[in-house]
Structure 1
Amino acid sequence: MKAYNLGPGWLAKFSVLTLLILVVLNLAVTTEARARIRHYQWKVDYLYFSPDCVEKVIIAINGQYPGPPIRARVGDTIVVELENGLPTEDVVIHWHGIHQVGTPWYDGTAFVSQCPINPGETFKYKFVVSRPGTYFYHGHFGMQRSAGFYGSLIVDLEQGEKEPYAYDGELSIILNDWWHRSMYDQETGLFSIPFRFVGEPQSLLIEGRGSYNCSLVPSGSVAGSGDCVNCNSSNPQCQPYILPVEPGKTYRLRITSVASLSSLNFILEGHNMTIVEADGYNVDPVVVENLDVYSGETYSVLFTANQNPSQNYWAAVNVRGRKPATPTGLAVLNYLPNPSSLLPSTPSPVSPVWNDFDYSLNQSKLIVARQGYEVPPPTPDRQLILLTTQNKVNGKIKWGINNVTYVPTSTPVLVALKYGLKKAYDPIPPPDYPTRPFNISSPPPNPNAIVGSGVYKFQFGSVVDVIIQNANMLNPNNSEIHPWHLHGHDFWVLGSGKGIFNPVTDPQGYNLNNPPLKNTVPVFPYGWVALRFRADNPGVWPFHCHVEAHFHMGMGVIFAEGWDRLPQLPKSILGCGLSKYL
């Protein structure tokens, strides 16, 4: 037997090597334990439901409304196998606030990032959640969000990390407006000549629950004839949502608005709220008595259950920005051990006057970034000024940007850019600035717009400023709030103001020290807002008004950067338009 001389110190070297291997294996195991795969199997289907006591057909997931919540940690992989059980309707799901870095094809936007999912098909979404915060998901095809197709998505900090604020418990709610007319009725009215508006919502929902006055339901119809509207005030589906709290404890309340039309104001009766998070980012704490929440926005607020513990209190939501024609939506802040059936004897809480836009603008300016977040670059490489216009196309009322109303093509834009399908979208890019003289205080003298599917293409890594300028609608003395949402990015909100944006003087007042990072921001009537972001996420990303009908009627644009850096796209997102020939 041959002997080997290992030399002096071989045992020590072996021990060090063994230790290093064990450390690496331990790190791998630890990382594996921290980063989990969260797997869900969902089926989307129609369902009879009574969110505000009036029965109607909604879009539900696994027979549940709102949809099943997703809870994950930073670094986790979310896998959702989505079966489309709707017999005659396509679907997609957008993961609102999730950047989809490296997976832009799972952003969930029909004809932008993917082909819609056909009836009977199953599509697998798979993406990593990289940032903690309060997010949500919703249908992004037609007006399916207004039919109840949404749910919450909350991402916690990595194991062992702590928020810079303390609380004893956590609660979460989704706010929504609700119509008794179906989304198909609403869509048909939007594209009719003459235009037929569905009107203001019948109810406001908190976590999918509201209460409509059944005595207002038309009577005289015959049950079972198809004319009868079922309204049952004792239906458990429309009983007030309960927020249980223990006296003396502090709670984090996560608030999300998926409203289709309404700007909302949230109140906890008798309790101040401290804003600590907006759209997934911690902000400097701000104490408020009530909170404006616009469609697409998410917040976390802290409150302490420090009121008289022998009674319960209202959690309430009211309409802002539009003349209210909808009753207050109510939930119950339940002081334990009081029974949840103990309803407050006080009147419904009252929000600020609906058209006090100064109040809203001032509240929005109170929200600034918490110390430690990245500050914006001092100057942009490119600036866009986007004028929100209400227009007409072939006699139909539309919304547009710089007098161009966006209409999606049948080929996903991501696919078209990646594979050079130049006939799949408008090769002429949309204008960076308004192309006509305009007066934001009056209806446009020429309301006619053109239809476009063009794309704003940015140099990868460049810094882009977007100025959104609000203007008058077709009707005199009428301008609306538009909450704007950007997919795939967050942006710094540099400033906002009234009147016409001045490109020389207004940038001098930009907040470059601690502007908030958000993915959704409101633009107030006859006002403007300035945003800045880095075009550093390879993909194709919608930027649009989050009012359901407005985007459906053309109020949006498409941003693209770094599409040539992407690998071969998954075959699962193909199959429509020109992409089906690849």
Structure 2
Amino acid sequence: MHLKLMGRASVAVLLLSLLAISHFHFSGAEDPYRFFNWNVTYGDIFPLGVRQRGILINGQFPGPDIHSVTNDNLIINVFNSLDEPFLLSWNGVQQRRNSFEDGVFGTTCPIPPGKNFTYILQVKDQIGSFYYFPSLAFHKAAGGFGGIRILSRPRIPVPFSDPAGDYTVLIGDWFKSNHTTLKAHLDNGKKLPFPDGILINGRGPNGVALNVEQGKTYRLRISNVGLQHSLNFRIQNHKMKLVEVEGTHTVQTTYSSLDVHVGQSYSVLVTADQPAKDYYIVASSRFSSKVLTTTAVLRYSNSAGPVSGPPPGGPTIQVDWSLNQARSIRTNLTASGPRPNPQGSYHYGMINTSRTIVLASSAGQVNGKQRYALNSVSYVAPDTPLKLADYFKISGVFRPGSISDRPTGGGIYLDTSVLQTDFRAFVEIVFQNNENIVQSYHLDGYSFFVVGMDGGQWTPASRNQYNLHDAVSRCTTQVYPMSWTAIYVALDNVGMWNLRSEFWARQYLGQQLYVRVYTASTSIRDEFPVPKNAILCGRASGRHTRPL
């Protein structure tokens, strides 16, 4: 269906959806609404010079950016013109009290082919740089992703001057094979092969140019939307000043290059302070036996000539270099703006944690097929989204507490792993990586404090080296080979929230779980009811949402 043909009908759907559910979802009538009307289609793309079937949004690859301001209500009508079910998820956008809109199968039923669904989101008390992506059926390997930027409200001071321009930079590894081929590869029990290249904003070498004027400063919002590789990002002859990480203003440290792990987002300021010509922008793989590299161009408006010479080299397998850089990223405590406030105090390091959860990754075979696990449990999706089963009290879909708080040491087995937690608890989660790869983990619905990371096995004595003063608050963190990373998280958002590996083959083959943040309260102050326009599937089919 063409957008011109669907326009009026889709606007009508949006208005009806708003009338039906907006008064349940939004506490501030003064907060603006922003409307987006998206048509999701397949289309030919040529990112590495080979024709592929990509996923386009309104004919674009990557998809259009979402521009918003703190507390905006986003009304995103998604029409699925694919021949298979589809879902979009919002990496880092925290749905307060509303995991129904999270856009992963544990919370949200897919949009059937030929149908639409209107996401009702509010970017409540957030600023920063994030992205959206398709969460089902290995669609992420076909595109369907785009940038999200949430600006501070005009009255809230930002700790740097307004840049002359603001660019979304989506980087990631890429395969020449279509996503259906890669999915079949995984379904047949095999590991994902090595990627064919790296993309910057959907293009291969020198396919993208960022235009600048000499002497002016620009903001680059860099997100690694790839499938499995950490990437190093750098700009020839230019420094980058880090100013924001996934919703947190940071201490403004200057870097020559920046490691961006899978799923992570960073904002940097770059000043065009070099002689007027074109310069390489480089993204290259880290910690890989073969180094993949791609380039874009930083183009001065009065450029005297094209890029020249080899692209600048960067780090390759140096883990200590990356670890030291990660430790240098800290919260700017003098900056205004939303940030986690556990138990009414910004002094997270002075609050006692009530529980420690240690999650260890593993890889292995189950029934002759490749699987990945956390604490030996390899996640298997049930026929009904967990959140709907919880809401409608449908038994037999999942068991709270079906994954242990600590590694079991046993072999991998299949189950629908749900970690039971209590609303308003303040918990410590340790990611223990006993494998010789860098890993990356994301928690939907939350930001967390990355309080420590180091090599070896985590023990209670490891807490002696935690940063309990100005650790960065973010939603995605890396774990280095044979190492651990510890986070503190205030469980102040009721719902069912996906905790997953951002290595998408690992996520697809079981390295994920759901955190059930539970309260017996049924007040909408704690959690919104199921949306009136919710698609109901599996054993929730035929149930009734609440009346108007």
TM-score, normalised to structure 2, is 0.88
1:366 to 305, 328, 335: 328
Pair 1:113-2:74 in alignment: no
1: CA distance between counterparts of 2:406 and 2:484?
A: 14
Q: Secondary structure at the match of 1:531?
A: strand
Contact persistence 1:280–1:298 (CA under 8 A): no
Q: Report what 2:498 is aligned to.
A: 542
Q: Secondary structure at the match of 1:259?
A: coil
Pair 1:90-2:85 in alignment: yes
1:392 CA drift (Å):
1.6
Q: Report what 2:252 is aligned to.
A: 285
Contact persistence 1:417–1:563 (CA under 8 A): no
Q: Which amino acid aligns with 1:85?
A: S
Q: Report what 2:343 is aligned to.
A: none
Pair 1:253-2:220 in alignment: yes
Q: Report what 1:335 is aligned to.
A: 300
Structure 1, gaps ≥5 residues long: 1-30, 212-238, 437-445, 473-478
1:424 to 365, 383, 397: 397
Counterparts of 1:161-240 in structure 2 under 5 Å?
161-166=156-161, 167-193=163-189, 195=190, 197-211=191-205, 240=207
Contact persistence 2:400–2:419 (CA under 8 A): no
TM-superposition CA deviations, 1:522-548 (whole Å, max 9, x none): 001100000110111011001011111
Q: Report what 1:77 is aligned to.
A: 73
Q: Report what 1:8 is aligned to.
A: none
2: CA distance between counterparts of 1:263 and 1:102?
A: 32
1: CA distance between counterparts of 2:306 and 2:141?
A: 29
Contact persistence 2:424–2:492 (CA under 8 A): yes
Counterparts of 1:285-304 in structure 2 under 5 Å?
285-304=252-271
Contact persistence 1:65–1:208 (CA under 8 A): yes
1:172 CA drift (Å):
2.1
Q: Which amino acid aligns with 2:447?
A: D
2: CA distance between counterparts of 1:430 and 1:424?
A: 15
Q: Report what 1:410 is aligned to.
A: 383
Pair 1:469-2:432 in alignment: yes
1: CA distance between counterparts of 2:370 and 2:328?
A: 36
Q: Which amino acid aligns with 1:491?
A: F
Q: Report what 1:138 is aligned to.
A: 133
1:337 CA drift (Å):
2.1
1: CA distance between counterparts of 2:328 and 2:501?
A: 23
TM-superposition CA deviations, 1:124-145 (whole Å, max 9, x none): 1011112111111100112111
Q: Which amino acid aligns with 1:573?
A: A
Contact persistence 1:391–1:403 (CA under 8 A): no
2: CA distance between counterparts of 1:573 and 1:329?
A: 41
Q: Secondary structure at the match of 1:60?
A: strand
Q: Secondary structure at the match of 1:184?
A: helix
1:271 to 238, 260, 273: 238
TM-superposition CA deviations, 1:532-565 (whole Å, max 9, x none): 1011101100101111111001001110113653
Q: Report what 1:127 is aligned to.
A: 121
2:347 to 375, 381, 389: 375
TM-superposition CA deviations, 1:196-227 (whole Å, max 9, x none): x442222211111114xxxxxxxxxxxxxxxx
Residue-pair matches, total:
498
Counterparts of 1:21-60 in structure 2 under 5 Å?
35-60=31-56
Pair 1:154-2:149 in alignment: yes
Q: Report what 2:516 is aligned to.
A: 560
2: CA distance between counterparts of 1:573 and 1:79?
A: 14
Q: Report what 1:520 is aligned to.
A: 476
Q: Secondary structure at the match of 1:551?
A: helix
1:573 CA drift (Å):
3.2
Q: Report what 2:444 is aligned to.
A: 487
2: CA distance between counterparts of 1:568 and 1:169?
A: 40
Q: Report what 2:412 is aligned to.
A: 449
TM-superposition CA deviations, 1:167-218 (whole Å, max 9, x none): 333222111211111112112222325x2x442222211111114xxxxxxx
1:429 CA drift (Å):
2.1
Q: Which amino acid aligns with 1:293?
A: V
Counterparts of 1:341-356 in structure 2 under 5 Å?
342-352=305-315, 354-356=316-318
Contact persistence 2:281–2:296 (CA under 8 A): yes
Q: Which amino acid aligns with 1:547?
A: F
1:159 CA drift (Å):
2.3
Contact persistence 2:401–2:420 (CA under 8 A): no
1:502 to 438, 459, 463: 459
2: CA distance between counterparts of 1:108 and 1:35?
A: 23
Q: Report what 2:288 is aligned to.
A: 322
CA 1:308/1:567 → structure 2, altered by over 3 Å: closer, same or farther?
A: closer
CA 1:282/1:294 → structure 2, altered by over 3 Å: closer, same or farther?
A: same
CA 1:164/1:428 → structure 2, altered by over 3 Å: closer, same or farther?
A: closer
Identity of aligned residues (%): 29
Structure 2, gaps ≥5 residues long: 1-27, 340-345, 544-548
Contact persistence 1:135–1:279 (CA under 8 A): yes
Which deviates further from its counterpart, 373-382 or 489-498? 373-382
Q: Report what 1:580 is aligned to.
A: 541
Q: Secondary structure at the match of 2:464?
A: helix
Q: Which amino acid aligns with 1:55?
A: R
Q: Which amino acid aligns with 1:164?
A: P
Contact persistence 2:242–2:266 (CA under 8 A): yes
Is the radius of gyration larger for structure 1 or structure 2? 1
2: CA distance between counterparts of 1:416 and 1:384?
A: 25
Q: CA RMSD in A?
A: 1.7
2: CA distance between counterparts of 1:556 and 1:454?
A: 8
1:103 CA drift (Å):
2.4
1:313 to 268, 279, 285: 279
